[in-house]
Chain A
Amino acid sequence: MTWSEMQPLLEQACWDTLYMVGWSTLIAVVGGLPLGVLLVLTDRGGLLQNVVANKVIGQVVNVARSMPFIILMVALMGFTRSITGTTIGREAAIVPLAIGAIPFFARLVETAVREVDGGLVEAVQSMGGNTWTIVRKVLVPESLPSLIASTTTTIVALIGYSAMAGTVGAGGLGDIAIRYGYQRFETQLMWITVAILAVVISLIQFAGDYAARSLHSRGGQSGPAPKLRLLKASTADTKTV
């Protein structure tokens, strides 16, 4: 394959990946954030302590997380059709991607929110704040650097998942690598795809780290120097593709 043949393929694949990952990340954040916060609030000793609700949400999240993505995609086909009207193409891939990422992100949110100092919650309670105020003014803003880091991790994981979306004809970089690179022995194209993915993931990780750090360092808290994990992070993360 010549470069002029590869170029349009790669361009289209980049856009497809971006499109799928962008939308599914958005949905995962919108869905996972409240779920993660609820996991903390309903836990024993939480502000909305509800052991039953906590167990149920926790179990749903666990089951959804333990399902291999390719199985989830097939299992959700009926649901996907009812939403997008089709089970193939980019839009159809967004549904299982988002559903797979929601519990993943929710667990990360849970961990991040748990880190918030209980004294801050107590302070707002002593001012007469209700639970919603505490969530809005304390739990979410105070864990924002961690939440951004969690979002970065989710995006990287979604790029990995999206490679499998090729099986429903959704295209994307991972799909190109498998169909052209692997199945048609276009080794050169495969390596180019892998390189593009490595660069994309590095950029996302870098941007995420930077955003989290700049929020964290607001107010002069001097943490450790920014980790330049371009190579390390990218090799580790592209394994999932």
Chain B
Amino acid sequence: MCPRTTSLPYQGTPTPAYSTVTETPVITTSGLTKVYRSRGREVTALDGVDLHVREGEVYGVIGQSGAGKSSLIRCVNLLERPTAGTVTVAGQDLTALAGRGPRAGKELRQARSRIGMVFQHFNLLSTRTVQDNVELPLEILGKNGRERSRKALELLDLVGLADQAKAYPAQLSGGQKQRVGIARALAGDPKVLLSDEATSALDPETTRSILQLLRDLNRQLDLTVLLITHEMDVVKSICDSAALMENGRIVESGTVSELLATPGSELAAALFPVGGEATGEDRTVVDVTFQGEAATQPVVSQLSRTYNIDISILGAAIDTVGGLQVGRMRIELPGRYEDNVVPIGFLREQGLQIDVVGESQLVKEGAK
């Protein structure tokens, strides 16, 4: 396996359409609980989190600040000791390696060196050049000077920063710093990359290019990426699977298409916010979610012709999520729900996912 010897163009190249996801679990947490105690007060940051990240996928954990995302990702490489539960990465039970006491033993440190991590604020050493920053993990691994500089330059080339090797972090832009952070995280040839809000300190343009880089690395190096974020756009643009965290619990999780196929999924609604209110009392508002094949079928005109009804479109969004073309449309049918059972049945028969708005409040308004 030597995909790293070839340089990877990092911008403007279409991502290969194949997916590297397999069914092998790479990161598994079960019953992960973290309780912080300070001055007699207890704060539960993680409350029995079960996470399953499959090999080769980009898995996004989304939630608001304080939801426990940060604790979760820090528990995966045991920067935080979980209060209870287990963490298994690449078949290795890290919680068993941790031992007692706050200090990391040799085995845990070795395991950590095989898990890359990138940070929101990059965490580059300001007194080292870009190249020396990338060499740092290799120094820790005990590699000799020539090997270190060869590997570091190769990685900088991979992230598109070969010409900045001798620069200091302060001379780089935010996006460039994060590229250095990513190169550094890859130095130990990890199979798993943890990304702690890696794009949250970046502008939208730079965010896109960093996400694209992560996506490319995921494809080219078979790298499994676990990322936490509070930006729905991040999940939308690169994640194969996602989980929604609230109050230390995972409230929804699954592949993007599974989520979209789940009636009333908060994540799905947030990925495709469609607006629009019913124009009158005797109207039925229906959210239609398209995926894959169905996305190209002219269902609206078929419906209109078959039942001879007028359909107004209140809102619509079509996008590509994790390489899947998906869309959501909010349409309005004349008459109450009882009058529209047949047309709605027709839509369901087309393999579309139908959520009737107002009926048991399936689509949560305002979810972002």
Q: Do A and B truly interact? A: yes
Interface residues of A, Cβ cutoff 8 Å to B: 47-49, 117, 119-120, 122-131, 133, 137-138, 141-142, 144, 215, 218-221
* Inter-subunit contact B123/A128 (CB<8 Å): no
* Inter-subunit contact B123/A119 (CB<8 Å): yes
What B residues does A219 contact at CB under 8 A?
126-127, 167-171
What A residues does B170 contact at CB under 8 A?
219-221
What A residues does B289 contact at CB under 8 A?
none
What B residues does A127 contact at CB under 8 A?
112-113, 136-137, 140, 184, 187-188
What A residues does B124 contact at CB under 8 A?
123
**Contact for A129 among B140, B167, B171, CB less than 8 A:** B140
Q: How far, in angstroms, from A47 to B79 measured CA to CA in the complex?
A: 12
The reply on B46 being an interface residue by CB < 8 A is no
**Contact for A142 among B112, B125, B188, CB less than 8 A:** B125
The reply on B364 being an interface residue by CB < 8 A is no
Q: How far, in angstroms, from A219 to B171 measured CA to CA in the complex?
A: 6
* Inter-subunit contact A124/B136 (CB<8 Å): yes
Interface bits B65-96 vs A (CB < 8 Å: 1, else 0): 00000000000010100000000000000000
**Contact for A117 among B79, B123, B137, CB less than 8 A:** B123
Question: For residue A125, which residue of chain B has the nearest CB?
Answer: B79
Q: How far, in angstroms, from A48 to B112 measured CA to CA in the complex?
A: 19
Question: For residue B112, which residue of chain A has the nearest CB?
Answer: A128
**Contact for B77 among A120, A126, A133, CB less than 8 A:** A126
Minimum CB–CB distance from A176 to chain B (whole Å) comes to 42
* Inter-subunit contact A128/B140 (CB<8 Å): yes
* Inter-subunit contact A126/B168 (CB<8 Å): no
The reply on B115 being an interface residue by CB < 8 A is yes
The reply on B110 being an interface residue by CB < 8 A is yes
* Inter-subunit contact B79/A220 (CB<8 Å): no
Q: How many residues of B contact A (CB 8 A)?
A: 34
What B residues does A138 contact at CB under 8 A?
125
Q: How far, in angstroms, from A220 to B127 measured CA to CA in the complex?
A: 11
CB contact list, B126-176 vs A, under 8 A? 126-128, 136-137, 139-141, 167-171
* Inter-subunit contact A123/B117 (CB<8 Å): yes
State whether A142 and B127 are in contact (beta carbons under 8 Å apart), knowing that A125-B79, A220-B170 are contacts in the complex: yes
The reply on B104 being an interface residue by CB < 8 A is yes
The reply on B103 being an interface residue by CB < 8 A is yes
Q: How far, in angstroms, from A124 to B123 measured CA to CA in the complex?
A: 9
The reply on B368 being an interface residue by CB < 8 A is no
3 A-B pairs closest in CB distance:
A219-B168, A128-B113, A123-B123
Q: How far, in angstroms, from A116 to B168 measured CA to CA in the complex?
A: 17
* Inter-subunit contact B112/A218 (CB<8 Å): no
Minimum CB–CB distance from A55 to chain B (whole Å) comes to 18
* Inter-subunit contact A125/B119 (CB<8 Å): no
The reply on B109 being an interface residue by CB < 8 A is yes
* Inter-subunit contact A128/B136 (CB<8 Å): no
Minimum CB–CB distance from B118 to chain A (whole Å) comes to 9
Question: For residue B126, which residue of chain A has the nearest CB?
Answer: A219
Q: How far, in angstroms, from A219 to B117 measured CA to CA in the complex?
A: 24
* Inter-subunit contact A126/B117 (CB<8 Å): yes
Minimum CB–CB distance from B132 to chain A (whole Å) comes to 10
What A residues does B136 contact at CB under 8 A?
124, 127, 137
User: Max chain B CB contacts within 10 Å: which of A117, A144, A218?
Assistant: A218
The reply on B52 being an interface residue by CB < 8 A is no
State whether A128 and B125 are in contact (beta carbons under 8 Å apart), knowing that A123-B119, A221-B170 are contacts in the complex: no
What A residues does B137 contact at CB under 8 A?
127-128
Interface bits B28-54 vs A (CB < 8 Å: 1, else 0): 000000000000000000000000000
* Inter-subunit contact A218/B104 (CB<8 Å): no
Taking A130-B104, A131-B103 as given, write out 13 further A-B residue pairs in contact, using a Cβ cutoff of 8 Å, ordered by the A residue number.
A47-B102, A117-B123, A120-B123, A123-B119, A123-B123, A127-B187, A127-B188, A128-B111, A128-B141, A141-B125, A142-B127, A144-B127, A218-B168
Q: List 20 A-B contacts (CB under 8 A).
A: A117-B121, A117-B123, A122-B123, A123-B124, A127-B113, A127-B184, A127-B188, A128-B110, A128-B141, A130-B104, A137-B125, A137-B136, A137-B139, A142-B125, A142-B126, A215-B127, A219-B167, A219-B170, A220-B170, A220-B171
Minimum CB–CB distance from B171 to chain A (whole Å) comes to 5
* Inter-subunit contact A126/B140 (CB<8 Å): no
Q: How far, in angstroms, from A126 to B77 measured CA to CA in the complex?
A: 7
Question: For residue A48, which residue of chain B has the nearest CB?
Answer: B103
Question: For residue A121, which residue of chain B has the nearest CB?
Answer: B123
What A residues does B79 contact at CB under 8 A?
122, 125-126
Minimum CB–CB distance from A18 to chain B (whole Å) comes to 30
Minimum CB–CB distance from B148 to chain A (whole Å) comes to 13
State whether A120 and B125 are in contact (beta carbons under 8 Å apart), knowing that A128-B140, A218-B168 are contacts in the complex: yes
What B residues does A133 contact at CB under 8 A?
140
State whether A220 and B168 are in contact (beta carbons under 8 Å apart), knowing that A119-B123, A126-B77 are contacts in the complex: yes
* Inter-subunit contact B112/A125 (CB<8 Å): yes
State whether A218 and B115 are in contact (beta carbons under 8 Å apart), knowing that A126-B77, A127-B188, A137-B136 are contacts in the complex: no
Q: How far, in angstroms, from A221 to B167 measured CA to CA in the complex?
A: 12
Q: How far, in angstroms, from A215 to B127 measured CA to CA in the complex?
A: 8
Minimum CB–CB distance from A137 to chain B (whole Å) comes to 7
Q: How far, in angstroms, from A106 to B82 measured CA to CA in the complex?
A: 35
Q: How far, in angstroms, from A132 to B140 measured CA to CA in the complex?
A: 11
Q: How far, in angstroms, from A130 to B141 measured CA to CA in the complex?
A: 11
What B residues does A142 contact at CB under 8 A?
125-127
Question: For residue B133, which residue of chain A has the nearest CB?
Answer: A123
What A residues does B128 contact at CB under 8 A?
141
State whether A128 and B117 are in contact (beta carbons under 8 Å apart), knowing that A137-B139, A219-B126, A221-B170 are contacts in the complex: no
Minimum CB–CB distance from A125 to chain B (whole Å) comes to 6
